[in-house]
């Protein structure tokens, strides 16, 4: 009798375990699937930070941002790159981009740094910026085409910065932390900076190779689950459109005040960061 009871308990336990397995496996699969963009599971935004020379109190670096996603562009109002300095580093000079705030530079006399923010936010410059303030890949208002469209130049951005109050050797330099890559609507998460083998550069004639003094990289990935609540606009553009244009005609008729739309600040603002809508595509009535 006791053996039968034990056997019955064992069968019940196995049944419960099996049911729990069927319950948790789908949840586990959902968690794994939700951790990347199903449209482009291997795509990302890669930030490469190359130190090109040392200065008495820091270094000069070139930062490149590469959109390695096949189909997802970075549209207007463009990217915003942020990080947190390890200590009290400052940005003396920037070429090809700018910090949106200067911060408290009251401890400096004479020449004032470009930014004294502990956590600066960097944005691209506008087209038409004076030539002396430009660098390769800059000045497109933060717009990046997807790499899948075949033009690497339009898929990358770059700027140069001179960092002060920082280490000026490979052993004393301090790598920034808490990198962020912001776009309208959100969706990107950045990993920690990782020191890599120094980037190599070829001269135009291909006969000489130079390299950065130090290099670190940051990878930012997109997740649809992190995106802000969508507005009423619906994308009607084809996937092979080179760059997203502003959404002036919305599929749900959100320019009509009588229509029910999400988003604050009026219909035009609600449509501003949706996917591109071509002018020849008509509005749809509800």
Q: How high is the mean pLDDT of the chain?
A: 78
CA dist., res. 52 & res. 76, Å (int):
30
pLDDT at 263 over 70: no
**The predicted structure's pLDDT at residue 186:** 86
pLDDT at 16 over 60: no
Identify the weakest region by mean pLDDT among 23-27, 94-98, 243-247: 23-27
CA dist., res. 157 & res. 68, Å (int):
12
Q: Is residue 232 within 8 Å of 238, Cβ to Cβ?
A: no
Specify the residue for token string 């942020």: 82
Distance of CA 77 to the CA centre of its chain: 13
pLDDT at 151 over 60: yes
**The predicted structure's pLDDT at residue 36:** 56
Q: Which residues contact 69 (CB under 8 A, 6 or more apart)?
A: 37, 40, 43, 44, 45, 146, 147, 148, 222
Measuring CA to CA, which residue among 187, 180, 173 is closest to residue 216? 173
Q: Which residues contact 148 (CB under 8 A, 6 or more apart)?
A: 69, 70, 71
**The predicted structure's pLDDT at residue 162:** 98
Stretch (H or E) spanning 218? strand 214-222
Identify the weakest region by mean pLDDT among 12-26, 75-89, 142-156, 159-173: 12-26
Percent of the chain with pLDDT over 70: 65
Q: Is residue 286 within 8 Å of 252, Cβ to Cβ?
A: yes
Specify the residue for token string 């009535």: 285
Confidence band of 223 (pLDDT split at 50, 70, 90): confident
**pLDDT tens readout for residues 276-286:** 444 444 444 44
pLDDT at 26 over 80: no
The DSSP letter of residue 77 is T
How far, in Å, are 72, 73, 118, 142 from residue 76 at the CA level?
A: 13, 10, 26, 7
Confidence band of 96 (pLDDT split at 50, 70, 90): very high
Taking CB atoms within 8 Å and a gap of at least 24, the contacts of 14-23 are none
**The predicted structure's pLDDT at residue 234:** 53
How far, in Å, are 71, 241, 254, 276 from residue 281 at the CA level?
A: 21, 14, 14, 11
pLDDT at 215 over 90: yes
**The predicted structure's pLDDT at residue 131:** 94
**The predicted structure's pLDDT at residue 193:** 98
Q: Which residues contact 149 (CB under 8 A, 6 or more apart)?
A: 155, 240, 242
**The predicted structure's pLDDT at residue 21:** 42
The DSSP letter of residue 126 is P
């Amino acid at each position: 009798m006791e053996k039968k009871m034990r056997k019955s308990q064992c069968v019940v336990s196995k049944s419960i375990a099996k049911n729990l397995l069927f319950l948790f496996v789908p949840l586990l699969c959902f968690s794994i699937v939700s951790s990347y963009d199903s449209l482009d599971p291997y795509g990302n935004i890669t930030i490469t930070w190359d130190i090109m020379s040392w200065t008495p109190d820091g270094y000069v670096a070139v930062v490149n941002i590469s959109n390695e996603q096949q189909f997802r562009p970075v549209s207007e109002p463009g990217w915003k790159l942020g990080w947190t300095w390890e200590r009290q580093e400052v940005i003396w000079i920037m070429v090809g981009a700018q910090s949106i705030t200067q911060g408290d530079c009251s401890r400096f006399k004479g020449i004032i740094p470009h930014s004294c923010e502990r956590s600066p936010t960097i944005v691209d410059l506008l087209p038409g910026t004076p030539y002396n303030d430009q660098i390769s890949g800059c000045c497109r208002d933060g717009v990046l085409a997807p790499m899948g469209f075949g033009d690497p130049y339009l898929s990358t951005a770059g700027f140069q910065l001179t960092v002060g109050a920082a280490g000026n050797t490979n052993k004393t330099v301090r790598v920034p932390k808490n990198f962020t890559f912001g776009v309208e609507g959100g969706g990107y998460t950045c990993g920690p900076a990782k020191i890599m083998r120094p980037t190599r550069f070829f001269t135009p004639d291909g006969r000489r190779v130079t390299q950065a003094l130090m290099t670190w990289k940051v990878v930012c990935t997109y997740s649809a689950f992190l995106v802000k609540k969508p507005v009423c606009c619906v994308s009607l553009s084809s996937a092979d459109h080179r760059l997203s244009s502003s959404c002036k005609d919305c599929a749900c008729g959100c320019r009509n005040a009588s229509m029910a739309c999400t988003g604050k600040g009026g219909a035009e603002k609600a449509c501003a960061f949706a996917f591109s809508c071509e002018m020849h595509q008509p509005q749809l009535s509800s």
